[in-house]
Each structure stands twice: as structure tokens, then as C-alpha cells.
Amino acid sequence: MRRDIEDYVLKIRKSEYSFFKKRAGDVALLIPYPYPQAIGSLSWQAVYKKFADYGVRIERFFFPPFSNFKLSELRSVETLRPLGDFELVLVSSIWEKDFVEIVKRCDIKAKILAGGKGVEVVPNLWASEFDGVLLGRVEALLDEYGTDIFRKYGIVKSSSDKVEFFYSIFFSSWSVFKDAVLLELSKSCPRRCPFCVVPETAGRFAYVEFENFKEIVLRLRKFKDIGAKKLGIITTALTDVPRVLDYLEFAKTYFDLTASSFTVGSFKAEVLKYLHQQTVTFGVETTVEAKRKEVGKYFSDAKLLEVVRACRGMDKIVKIYLLWEEDWEAGFFEKLKPFIGKKGIEFSINPVVVKFGVKKIEEIKRLLANFPLPNWKKIERYRRYLISLGFDADVLNKKDWYTEVVASLVDKGYLDKKVLFVKGKRLEKIVDNTLKEVVEEILNRS
Ligand code: SF4
């Protein structure tokens, strides 16, 4: 057994607390992140809980924080058994690049079933790499197929849109959220921005009813005895949940509160007084008001300034996500400058990832025609410009962007599968030479 991996797993065991006893299981659950980050995702905890409800015991495997390992070297948190001992491995993840990492490291014979957003938008690609993919919410899949799901390889899709909400069943003192437990307040999104896969893959918008919310918060108090002071509320847009102030008023009695995401359009400044977080995040997408209208996510500059003013008034850092590079909008940034203060406003530039696997192909064609592929040199100049104005700014990793776009092109048969799995810079080089022509071809096809 590799000593470094064993030490890592023992450290997880020592730091972790749960309602569930650590017991040997029949099925492996692979989470392709190091544990301190993985604990901040509710999706694998949901899988674990849902399978436990069906009497299926699961052993969990996390990626170590170093890169020189194979899947066969991983050990379970429950029993330290190797991953290769299991006949069936479930993978829970969101991003395409995580599945690429698994394929690159795979040296085991187990059947592997993959689930999560990353496979949902490009199911054909991953069904041919793994033994099957699971599409749909875990609660709906399990209730529809029961444990028969293990025998249904290929693409297994739920036809139900049953919604169940999940909350932390594991808590760890060794995590980036070491003093927080999580609760999913809503699923999907009531808005339907044409470039976004959330409403398309996550189904209808739903949120926890107030009475249920109260019950869950009271249940989560158990974690307070072992150091959880915060309740992290997971939602695409906190202020889209009706009566949200009642929810926050109730929960603040028991926990310090944080929330994951906000929309400018529905933002209410009153929520800020409940939140114990330094940074408040908004998907602004583009700094040009007219373009926001064009891409189907409209709010005025005046509303955005009102939101920034409210946040900065409470000394919060405002983090603004942009999907489209712009010609420098000096006027827009001049308006924001009075609110910068000490590192008060941050930009994150994540060029839009067009998912060719999604159904809204006509919308995608329109967006592609109007907004060209990222010009990385220009984006880098843009980032430096923002920093020169006194803002903080970062840019999405270029390789991650390519991986996501290329995965969807491979899924649709426009690119060879090999392209996705070459290492390092070659991925970008090959794609740089071909992606533009492939996209143009798609645009020209009816
Ligand atoms: S508001 Fe955000 S999550 Fe909702 S559809 Fe638009 S981009 Fe997606």
C-alpha cells in the first residue's frame, strides 16, 4: 500500500464526523477531488445517503492532493480497501475535466458508472469511456430503478423529476469549510438564460418549503457540538426563493449563515445583514447593458450599481463573473471605481463554454454567431487593464475551457475522441488549429 495515500486517508478518517457509521460496503463511490474541497459538495453526500436509504453500503474514495497516482492505488475511507477490489464504481462529479482525469488514471477492471453535470451534457462521450452514465437527479433514478441501476449499463435516464433536498451528512474539521455544514435550499433556476445548462439539466426550479427548512436546520444543530458554527446555504439564487427573509431570520438563531450565489435582478439588500461571509458573488456575464439584453440575462447598470453600493456599504467584497470579453468599457468601470476601497471588487473572466450537447442548439448557434470564440491574448490584456484600474481580476484556466468545449464537440462527433485525452499543451494546440473550423461547420449546417 502506498504510504502517502494511506496517510492521507487516515487523516480524512480522523477529521470526519457523520450520522453514519464507517462500515464495509458493496459499492465504491469515487469523488475525483481532494477531500478538503470535496466536502464542500453535497452531490456525493446525496448519492451516499440515497444509496444508504436503499440498504446499499458504500465505501468512499477521494483523489489525493498529488498527481502521480493510479486508480488502483486509491484506498477507501471506510476500510482502506483498494478501489480495484470493487466490482462496481460510481463516479460523482460536475466537470468534464474530472472525467478526463479518471480516464487517464484508470487501471482497474471494475464497471464504472458516471453521474453529474459533466456527463449529463455530453452523455455519448462518457458512455463510451465508462460502462454507463446516469442522467437525472439521484433521488429520481434510485426511486425509479432501485438497485437494478447497477445492472443497467449504457445511458440510464430518469423519466421522473422527483425532487428531494439534501444537507450535510458528513462534517470534517479538515476542509476548506471546516466550520460549516451545508443545506441545499433550492434546485435548478427559475430563469432560463439561453447560454446556461443549469435549468436544462437540473429540471424545474424547486425549493425547500419553510416548514421543512426549519426541521432540517434543527436536525443540523447536532453538528454544532463538534465545531460547525456556520450553515452554508446552497442555491443558484438566494433571493429567488419566496419569503427568503423568513428562512434567514429563523436559521440565524442557530447558525452563522452564508449563501453561495445571488442574481442582480432579484437582489434584496436586506439579506446582507444575515450573511457572515466576506464575498458576495454575482453572474453579471457582460458589462454592457445592451449585450445583457441580447444574451437573455437583463438587468440595468443602475440596478447593478445599487447592488454594489449595498454590498460595499456592508464592507462585503463583490465578485463579478463575466462570460464575454468586451472592448474596454471605461465608463462602466469609472462608475464602479468609487466602491473599490481595499480590494473591494473582483472580476473573474470565464469565457462562455458552449455546450453542444445541450438541446438549445439554435440559441447556441445564435450566440456563437454573435460572440466569437475567446481571444486569450485579448482576455489577458483585459485582465491586466482591470488590475491597473485597482480591481482584482482572474481568468478561467484555458485548458479547462478547451476541455469542456472539446468534450461536447467529441460527443457530437465533430472531433476525434483522442483529441480530448492528449496531455498538457497539445490539447490547446490541436484545438487551436481545428476548433474554429469545426464551429464554423456547425454554424453552416442546418
Ligand atoms: S440566472 Fe444564472 S443559473 Fe439561472 S439560468 Fe441564468 S445563468 Fe443560469
Q: How far is the CA of 40 from the centre of ligand 1 (A)?
A: 21
Under 8 Å between Cβ of 259 and 233: yes
Tens of pLDDT along 237-277?
899 999 999 999 999 999 999 998 899 999 999 999 999 99
Residue span(s) of the chain under CATH 3.20.20.70 come to 170-396
Residue 296 CB less than 6 A away from ligand 1 = no
Dihedral sign, Cα of residue 141, residue 114, residue 262, residue 233: positive
**Distance, CA 145 to ligand 1 centroid (Å)?**
30
Closest Cα to atom 1 of ligand 1: 191
189 lines ligand 1 (CB under 6 A): yes
Task: State if residue 318 touches ligand 1 by the CB under 6 angstroms criterion.
Answer: no
Q: What is the 3-state secondary structure (H, E, C) of 400-437?
A: HHHHHHHHHHHHCCCCCCHHHHCCCHHHHHHHHHHHHH
Instruction: Report whether residue 199 contacts ligand 1, using a CB cutoff of 6 Å.
Output: yes
Concatenated DSSP letters for 324-390?
Answer: S--S--HHHHHHHGGG-TTT-EEEEE------TTSS-HHHHHHHHHHSPPP-HHHHHHHHHHHHHTT
Question: What are the residues facing 82 on neighbouring strands?
Answer: 75
Q: How many CA atoms, within 13 angstroms, populate the side-chain half-sphere of residue 40?
A: 15
For ligand 1, the distance from its centroid to the CA atom of residue 262, given in whole angstroms, is 10
402-416 pLDDT tens trace: 888 888 888 888 888
Determine the pLDDT at residue 419. 83
The answer to whether the CB of 193 is under 6 A from ligand 1 is: yes
Which CATH number, 3.20.20.70, 2.60.40.420, 2.40.40.20, 1.20.1250.20, labels domain 170-396? 3.20.20.70
CATH of 3-157, one of 1.10.20, 3.40.1000, 1.10.3470, 3.40.50: 3.40.50
pLDDT tens digits for 129-158? 999 999 988 889 999 999 888 888 999 999
Atom of ligand 1 nearest to the CA of 197: 8
390 CB near ligand 1 (under 6 Å): no
Query: What separation in Å is there between the alpha carbon of 347 and the centre of ligand 1?
Result: 18
For the chain, counts of helices (H) and of strands (E): 18, 17
pLDDT tens for 434-444 read 777 877 777 66
Residue 30 near residue 73, CB atoms below 8 Å: no
**% the chain with pLDDT above 70:** 98
**Do 252 and 270 touch, CB atoms closer than 8 A?**
no
pLDDT of residue 425: 65
Q: Kind and range of the H or E element at 219?
A: helix 210-220
pLDDT value of position 260: 86
Q: Is 201 in the pocket of ligand 1 (CB under 6 A)?
A: no
At 441, which helix (H) or strand (E)? helix 425-444
Burial status of residue 34 (CB atoms within 10 A of its CB: 0-12, 13-18, 19 or more) = middle
Closest residue to atom 8 of ligand 1, CA basis: 196
Q: How confident is the model at residue 324 (pLDDT cuts 50, 70, 90)?
A: confident
How many other CB atoms are there within 10 angstroms of residue 437's CB atom? 10
Decide: 371 and 340 in contact? Cβ < 8 Å. Answer: no
User: Which of the listed residues 297, 323, 363 should we mutate to test ligand 1's pocket, taking the one with most ligand atoms within 8 A of CB?
Assistant: 297
Ligand 1: residue whose CA is nearest its atom 6 = 193
The three cell numbers locating residue 44: 456525493
Distance separating alpha carbons of residues 173 and 164, to the nearest angstrom: 27
| Cell 427559475, located at residue | 190
Cell match 462500515: residue? 23
What is 130-199 written as a DSSP string? SSEEEES-HHHHHHHHGGGGGG--EEEE---------B-SEEESSSTTTTEEEEE-EES-S---TT-SHH
Q: Which atom of ligand 1 lies nearest, measured to the CA of 190?
A: 4
- d(C-alpha 25, C-alpha 173), whole Å: 24
Indicate left, alpha or beta for 154 from its phi (over 0: left) and psi (-120 to 50: alpha).
left
Ligand 1 atom closest to 263 (CA): 1
Q: How far apart are CA 235 and CA 213, in angstroms?
A: 13
Query: Measured in angstroms, how far is the CA atom of residue 150 from the centroid of ligand 1?
Result: 33
Contacts of 323 (CB under 8 A, 6+ apart): 195, 283, 285, 286, 295, 350, 351, 352
Q: Is the pLDDT of residue 173 over 80?
A: yes
pLDDT band at residue 446 using 50, 70 and 90 as cut-offs: very low
Q: Please, where in the chain does CATH 3.40.50 lie?
A: 3-157
Residue type at position 35 = Y
Ligand 1 within 6 A of CB of 415? no
Ligand 1 site, residue 236, Cβ cutoff 6 A: yes
Give this prediction's pTM: 0.92
The rounded mean pLDDT for the chain is 90
CA dihedral of residues 367, 370, 373, 379 (deg, nearest 10): -110
Task: Look at the block and give the residue holding cell 436503499.
Answer: 54
pLDDT digits over 35-94, tens only?
Answer: 999 998 999 999 999 999 999 999 999 999 998 999 999 999 999 999 999 999 999 998
Instruction: Give CA–CA dist 435/432, Å, rounded.
Output: 6
Q: Find the 191 Cα to ligand 1 centroid distance in Å.
A: 6
Q: 191: Cβ below 6 Å to ligand 1?
A: yes
Binding site membership of 198 for ligand 1 (Cβ less than 6 Å): yes
Pocket test for ligand 1, best of 196, 201, 238, 281 (most atoms within 8 A of CB): 196
Q: In whole angstroms, give the CA distance from residue 402 to residue 434.
A: 12
* pLDDT confidence bin for 306, thresholds 50/70/90: very high
Average pLDDT over residues 308-331: 89
Single out the residue of 217, 368, 346 nearest to residue 278, CA to CA. Answer: 346
The whole-number average pLDDT for the span 86-109 is 92
* Euclidean distance between the first and the last CA atom of the chain, given in angstroms as a whole number: 55
CB of 170 within 8 A of CB of 45? Answer: yes
> 412 CB under 6 A from ligand 1?
no
196 lines ligand 1 (CB under 6 A): yes
189 Cα nearest atom in ligand 1: 4
Query: How many whole angstroms separate alpha carbon 225 and alpha carbon 248?
Result: 21
CA nearest 358: which of 135, 172, 37, 145? 135
Looking at the CA of residue 199, tell me the nearest atom of ligand 1: 5
162 torsion bin: left (phi>0), alpha (psi -120 to 50), beta (else): beta
Instruction: State the distance from the centre of ligand 1 to the C-alpha of 196, rounded, in angstroms.
Output: 6
Query: Could you tell me the pLDDT band of residue 423, with boundaries at 50, 70 and 90?
Result: low
CA distance 15 to 92: 22
**pLDDT at 376 (0 to 100):** 87
For the segment 113-120, the average pLDDT, to the nearest whole number, is 90
Q: Which residue has the higher pLDDT, 24 or 434?
A: 24
Contact 220, 177 (CB under 8 A): no
Ligand 1: does its nearest atom lie under 6 Å from the Cβ of 202? Answer: no
